[in-house]
Each structure stands twice: as C-alpha cells, then as structure tokens.
Amino acid sequence: MIKGVAGLFAAYTGTIQNITFSGPTYFSGILNAVVSYARMNLHIQMYHVLYILTDGAIHDFKDVKNILVEAS
C-alpha cells in the first residue's frame, strides 16, 4: 500500500525506470476491477487512487469514458 502523495511519487520514481510502454492499451478491464473493489469497500472511510501510465493511445477510450462517468 502506498501512503500519501510522497509515497505515490516515490513509487512512481522507483517504477518508471523499470517499465517499457507497449500497445495496444486497454484500460476498461482494470477500471471495472477497481470500481468493483471500491464499491465493495464503501463502508471503509478511505480514498482510492488509481494511477495509470500510458503511452497516450487508449484503444477502448469510449468504454473507459463510460466507466469513469458511471464511477464518479
């Protein structure tokens, strides 16, 4: 678990050097899983942050947009 903004930036800095971006990029599956997890844990008072790195091309953008609108 990452705690706080400082922890988020530390995780980013430590990870970005070890990854390679490649496509195609589909986010709807992971977004559905995250939304489902958040819904199951509504009784717990905490924030959920999903940090996504992409090379810029999202191949299921329409689905991603719909999921984000519904989850908001």
pLDDT of res. 62: 96
pTM over 0.75: no
- Structural domain boundaries in the chain: 21-71
pLDDT of res. 55: 73
Residue 31 burial class via C-beta count within 10 angstroms: exposed 0-12, middle 13-18, buried 19 and up: buried
Mind listing the pLDDT tens digit of every residue in the chain (72 residues)?
A: 788 889 988 988 888 888 887 778 899 999 999 999 988 988 888 887 777 777 778 899 999 999 989 888
Residue 53 burial class via C-beta count within 10 angstroms: exposed 0-12, middle 13-18, buried 19 and up: exposed
